[in-house]
């Protein structure tokens, strides 16, 4: 099963402003997310700081675009709003 990936307006701006070296890693992570949101390299887990924009009681997840790197980028996402779709809520460096 393949998921369609869509972006919130905030996430699209963040994606468009990524430095080239980070963009390559984020694109690879989005590819994994599209084919398997639970891919081991994403280290996907629940994240409670963001609210699901479609269903406030449904979870938001955090996935790794990078791992053992200072300022490693994270992708925050949720399922929906349509079937077989994931929405990217934010793409940010880890503090």
Other CB atoms within a 10 A radius of the CB of residue 26 amount to: 19
Q: Give the integer Cα–Cα distance in Å for 25 and 56.
A: 29
| Per-residue pLDDT, 94 | 84
pLDDT in tens, 40-83: 999 999 999 999 999 889 999 999 999 878 889 999 999 999 99
- Write the DSSP string, 59-90: -EEEEES-SSSTT-EEEEEEE-SSTTEEEEEE
Domain-wise residue ranges, the chain? 4-93
Helix (H, G, I), strand (E, B) or coil at 8: coil
Tell me which CATH homologous superfamily contains domain 4-93.
RelE-like (3.30.2310.20)
pLDDT in tens, 24-34: 999 999 999 99
| Model pTM score | 0.94
């Amino acid at each position: 099963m393949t998921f369609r990936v869509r972006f919130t307006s905030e996430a699209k701006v963040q994606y468009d402003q990524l430095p080239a070296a980070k963009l390559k890693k984020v694109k690879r992570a989005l590819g994994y997310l599209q084919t398997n949101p639970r891919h081991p390299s994403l280290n996907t887990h629940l994240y409670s700081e963001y609210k699901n924009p479609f269903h406030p009681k449904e979870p938001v997840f955090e996935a790794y675009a990078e791992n053992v790197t200072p300022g490693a980028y994270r992708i925050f996402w949720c399922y929906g709003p349509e079937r077989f779709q994931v929405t990217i809520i934010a793409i940010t460096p880890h503090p």
